[in-house]
Amino acid sequence: MRPHRAYVESLAPELRLTGPEAHHLAEVLRARVGDTLTVFDGQGREGRARVVELGRGWVRLRLEETWTADREPPQPVVLYLPLLKGDHMAEVVRAATELGAGRIVPILTQHCVVRELSENKLLRLRRVAQEAAKQCGRSVVPQVEPLRTLEQVPPVAQGLVAHPYARARVREVYDPTRPVALLTGPEGGLAEAEVALLERRGFAPVALGPRILRAETAPLALLSLVTAGEGF
């Protein structure tokens, strides 16, 4: 069997997979009794489990050992993500999970074209984060939180907001020894009053280069500078 990772709600001596996880393991990967795989709980713990029984729509595993994974940035990273059109929200959540975001908070800003986040879409975004964590080797699944307005973003000790006319670069203001909150604008950008509000709450405007980035590109560019750019 090819190496495989499966998400479980908690690590216990006996584990039972159902739904898509069981289907993928049994029907796609053709697992057999005695095969081993890695399981993770989304909170930073992993383990090696062995297949002990298979049935229609379920797989029973026995946990053999566990360990704490160490693949997270040394400081928490929160990404405030404006509502985006189409499937761009899911695309950003998937890539942000790969890049190490610990929390992803959808926000409603003045120029957002999309004005609401349904419960079904929120659940889908959470499934996307879970699947992305499984595929990229993370053992922590980022929290995807309910929608907030920009006014509900709390003050932060360190924050960066992407602004096309800012002069500061990320490396000039970012301190990797402290937690950081990141925020970018929607398709229509952030209003000047919104940028001013964020500055009062601890966000420093930063430039992402001389070109105007799309709303789905900017959060990943900013996140990359903070995590991948620092080797996190």
Q: Give the tens place of pLDDT for each residue, 156-172.
A: 999 999 999 999 999 99
**pTM value?**
0.91
Mean pLDDT of the chain: 94
d(CA 82, CA 98): 19
DSSP state of 21: H
Place of tokens 């081993």: 36
Res. 3 pLDDT band, cuts 50 70 90: low
Whether 2 shows a pLDDT value over 70: the answer reads: no
Is the domain of 115 the same as that of 91? yes
Claim to verify: residue 55 and residue 152 sit in the same structural domain: no
135 and 25 within one domain: no
> How far is the C-alpha of 98 from the C-alpha of 95, rounded, in Å?
5
User: How much is the pLDDT for 229?
Assistant: 87
Same domain membership, residue 126 and residue 92: yes
Asked if 42 and 7 touch (Cβ cutoff 8 Å), the reply is yes
Residue 142 binned pLDDT confidence (cut-offs 50, 70, 90): very high
Reference 41, options 6, 9, 5; nearest CA is 9
In this structure, the answer to whether residues 43 and 115 fall within a common structural domain is: no
CATH of the domain at 157: 3.40.1280.10
Count of structural domains within the chain: 2
Task: Check whether residue 11 and residue 117 sit in a common domain.
Answer: no
158 shares its domain with 222: yes
Which value, to the nearest 10 degrees, does the dihedral of the CA atoms of residues 80, 145, 178, 96 take?
A: -60
pLDDT at 156: 98
How far apart CA 184 and CA 226 sit, in angstroms, is: 14
In the listed set 68, 101, 121, which residue is the last one of a domain according to the structure? 68
Q: How far apart are CA 29 and CA 177, in angstroms?
A: 42
Considering the domain architecture, whether residues 108 and 159 belong to the same structural domain is answered as yes
Which CATH number do you get for residue 9?
2.40.240.20
Share of the chain above pLDDT 90, in %: 88
Tell me the mean pLDDT in the region 60-67. Answer: 96
Q: Which domain holds residue 214?
A: 77-230
pLDDT of residue 1 exceeding 70, the answer is: no
The two three-digit tokens of residue 149, written as one number: 């307005």
223 with 116, same domain?
Answer: yes
Which position has the token pair 């926000």?
107
pLDDT exceeds 50 at position 70? yes
Shared domain for 54 and 81, answered yes or no, is: no
DSSP track, 86-119: TTHHHHHHHHHHHHT-SEEEEEE-TT-S-----H
Pair of tokens at residue 181: 């909150």
99 lies in the same domain as 64: no
Residues 197 and 152 in one domain: yes
pLDDT tens, residue by residue, 92-112: 999 999 999 999 999 999 999
Beta carbons of 48 and 60 less than 8 angstroms apart: no
How would you label 34-47 residue by residue, b for 16+ Cβ within 10 Å and e otherwise?
A: ebebbbbbbebbbb
